[in-house]
Amino acid sequence: MAANTSTQLRRQEAELQRRSAELDRTSRELEEFTYIASHDLKEPLRGIWAYSEMLREDYGSLLDDEGQRRLDKMAALCRRLETLITDLLTYCRVGGLKTVKAPVDWETVVAEVLEMLQPAIEDRKAVIQVHGPLPQVWGDSMLLGHALTNLISNGMKFNRNACPKVEIGAVSSLRQPTIYVRDNGIGIARCHHEAVFTMFRRLHGRDEYEGSGAGLTIVRRIAESHNGRVWLESEPGRGTTFYLALPPPTRSPMLPPPHWV
């Protein structure tokens, strides 16, 4: 009886492993298809935009205000679609990239990101404060920089203050190296704390805030690709604080994910 039970358990385990492998393969194939399809969509989109610009240059003087308005609308739709495609490509690449993980100093990543965002910071008259020291983590510096860029940019964008403020610092009370990105923006209702990580999910109209709604989904994907996690604390009108926790630099990439606390 015990032997039969053991045999049955082995068969069930083998079947679960087979199904898991099939699911992984299907997921990879779907991501590859999405990446290729999205990449191929960019070329005709650029063509549409280019022809609309040529139409404006060559025949703009013959168009009335309504014709000009429609050309403007076409250009805006092209830019919006290109943003959606770019974000979809980024999302697929994060899952398929062979990341190069090594000890990463958050202070170095923050300095590089702020240098890149300097024109946007000046344009929004934003104040960025970094409260060091910041920890080291085990990860891919390029992807972590992309995640941080999204969080800082959101803090400036979803903000109605004349001078948006974004603070970056470390959380010392957790076992894992954790940084926070806190803003004084519009805030997020508790019922939407999970929804903001859904692909292309927008809480506001495009007339209020630009973007595709994919930024935080990409941040979560980056965190999970590092065996880390991202979460937030926020209330409407009281700003938002995002937390990003990652493995420490001494952790071997072959070990299982740490137990989060």
Residue 261 maps to a domain? no
Residue 259 maps to a domain? no
pLDDT at 201 (0 to 100): 62
Residue 212 amino acid letter: S
Distance CA 237, CA 189 (A): 9
Please check whether residue 38 is in contact with residue 89, taking contact to mean a CB–CB distance below 8 angstroms: yes
Residue 226 belongs to a domain with what CATH number? 3.30.565.10
For the chain, what is the mean pLDDT?
Answer: 80
pLDDT at 67 (0 to 100): 86
pLDDT digits (tens, 9 = 90+) for 91-144: 666 755 556 789 999 999 999 999 989 989 999 999 999 998 999 999 988 889
Distance CA 144, CA 228 (A): 11
Residue 27 belongs to a domain with what CATH number? 1.10.287
Structural domains in the chain (count): 2
- Per-residue pLDDT band at 259 (split at 50, 70, 90): very low
Tokens of 71: 């050309």
Residue 92 maps to a domain? yes
- Which domain covers residue 106, as residue numbers? 102-245
Please check whether residue 176 is in contact with residue 229, taking contact to mean a CB–CB distance below 8 angstroms: no
pLDDT at 38 (0 to 100): 59
